Amino acid sequence: MGAIVWPALLKHAAEVTFRDMTSTTSAERSLPSSDAAPRLRSVEGIHRSTGFHWVGNGFHVSTYFPSAKLPSERVSPFVLMDYGPPKEFSPLARGKRGVGWHPHRGFETVTLAWEGSVAHRDNAGHSGVIGPGDAQWMTAGAGIFHEEYHEEGLTRRGGRMHMMQLWVNLPRKHKAAPPAYQGLEARHFPGVDLPGGTVRVIAGEYGAARSPARTFTPITMLDVRLRAGGELPVTLPASYNALAVVAKGRVSAGDAEATTGELVLFANDGDRLSLTAREDSHVIVLSGEPIREPIVQYGPFVMNTVQEIEQAIEDVNRGKFGPVPE
Ligand code: MN
């Protein structure tokens, strides 16, 4: 996803570079020395979406980041988060809802669905339907074209869509990785029962449970349901960025509280975090080792330099991302 706007590239890309490179420098945060006992992370901030927009005509999402309040160094290795809370779509007799063929390079798209189904196709020969509980992990790497639409049955019948798309950055040495596709179905994800809820391990591990998702850098993604009063403890290296999105309900972390639609950003000041549900809640926990490299994002490309963005555009225009299927 992410609309392509070609004009005014150099000016725009240069601005992005300046901002992101500046903030990357400030990312060199010192970490507390390790204590004997695991230290609980504090909450750095609670963030709310700043508005909604349409991706194509199918995905009504809020882009939580990148944003000035959630700069790249605080959310790396994630680059972008588009969240589409549950939305009802009326039946459509003909046509499609979604976004047509567009390129990506330099990162991975991870699409999660809780309600509704997203049909995907790319020009590396992969296709699949991301249904409730599924996740699709697409490595754009060196370059790919793909299309993302509501699954046809959903389009005709109408129904609810509840989804999230994350852009996961690739470090410089893996930006040219061959395009790849992991279609992970709900049944592939291990579940862990807590005293007060359940955890589905979408990436990384939780306790003894390990996700089958392959990642280039260490990433943890947990899809968590908590009953009122239930607690989620997570152990993570303090250097990993960590955030939680409240899809439904109300949770607290220390003195901070977040409700439906809010994002909790944890400080990098401890090696465990804890969330307690104040009511029945659905929370997505995202964490990973930051990639400490300059980021230049322009439209559908995430690279290290402006020159690499120019190269990506040139390569698309010269057909180096391969042909687009009929
Ligand atoms: Mn896309």
Domain membership flag for residue 34: no
Domain membership flag for residue 207: yes
DSSP of 16-34, one letter per residue? HHHHHHHHHHHT----PPP
Q: What is the distance in A from the centroid of ligand 1 to the CA of 310?
A: 19
| Spans in the chain with pLDDT lower than 70 | 1-36
Q: What is the distance in A from the centroid of ligand 1 to the CA of 1?
A: 3
CB-based contacts of 312, cutoff 8 Å, min separation 6: 103, 105, 106, 143, 301, 303
Q: What is the distance in A from the centroid of ligand 1 to the CA of 102?
A: 6
Domain membership flag for residue 13: no
Q: What is the distance in A from the centroid of ligand 1 to the CA of 268?
A: 30
Q: What is the distance in A from the centroid of ligand 1 to the CA of 146?
A: 6
* Residues 24-60 pLDDT 10s: 333 334 455 555 578 999 999 999 987 999 999 999 9
Distance CA 120, CA 127 (A): 5
Give the model's pLDDT for residue 13: 39
Domain membership flag for residue 8: no
For residue 14, the SS3 value is helix
Q: What is the distance in A from the centroid of ligand 1 to the CA of 109?
A: 7
Q: What is the distance in A from the centroid of ligand 1 to the CA of 301?
A: 10
Range of the domain at 221: 39-294
Give the model's pLDDT for residue 205: 97
CA-CA-CA-CA dihedral for 242, 248, 254, 255, to nearest 10: 120
Domain membership flag for residue 316: no
Q: What is the distance in A from the centroid of ligand 1 to the CA of 234?
A: 31
Give the model's pLDDT for residue 95: 96
Type of residue at 314: E
Task: Indicate the number of domains in the chain.
Answer: 1
Q: What is the distance in A from the centroid of ligand 1 to the CA of 90?
A: 24
* Residues 272-308 pLDDT 10s: 999 999 999 999 999 999 999 999 999 999 999 999 9
Give the model's pLDDT for residue 16: 37
Q: What is the distance in A from the centroid of ligand 1 to the CA of 101?
A: 8
Distance CA 287, CA 266 (A): 10
Eight-class DSSP state of 229: T
Distance CA 87, CA 101 (A): 24
Q: At what angle do helices 9-26 and 306-317 cross, to 10 degrees?
A: 140
Q: What is the pTM of this model?
A: 0.89
Q: What is the distance in A from the centroid of ligand 1 to the CA of 121?
A: 10
Q: What is the distance in A from the centroid of ligand 1 to the CA of 197?
A: 33
Q: What CATH number should be reported for the domain holding residue 226?
A: 2.60.120.10
Rounded (to 5) percent helix, strand, coil in the chain:
15, 45, 40
Q: What is the distance in A from the centroid of ligand 1 to the CA of 260?
A: 26
Give the model's pLDDT for residue 326: 77
Q: What is the distance in A from the centroid of ligand 1 to the CA of 233?
A: 33
Q: Tokens at residue 297, please?
A: 């994002």
Give the model's pLDDT for residue 4: 43
- Asked whether the beta carbons of 256 and 218 are under 8 A apart, the reply is no
Q: Tokens at residue 281, please?
A: 């809640």
Give the model's pLDDT for residue 33: 52
Q: What is the distance in A from the centroid of ligand 1 to the CA of 147?
A: 7
Total count of residues recorded for the chain: 326
Give me the long-range contacts of 291-294 (CB less than 8 A, separation at least 24).
Answer: 291/76, 291/77, 291/169, 291/170, 291/171, 291/217, 292/24, 292/27, 292/28, 292/73, 292/76, 293/24, 293/171, 293/172, 294/17, 294/20, 294/21, 294/24
Domain membership flag for residue 308: no
Q: What is the distance in A from the centroid of ligand 1 to the CA of 148?
A: 7
Give the model's pLDDT for residue 37: 72
Give the model's pLDDT for residue 325: 86
CB-based contacts of 208, cutoff 8 Å, min separation 6: none
Q: What is the distance in A from the centroid of ligand 1 to the CA of 104?
A: 7
Domain membership flag for residue 305: no
Domain membership flag for residue 324: no
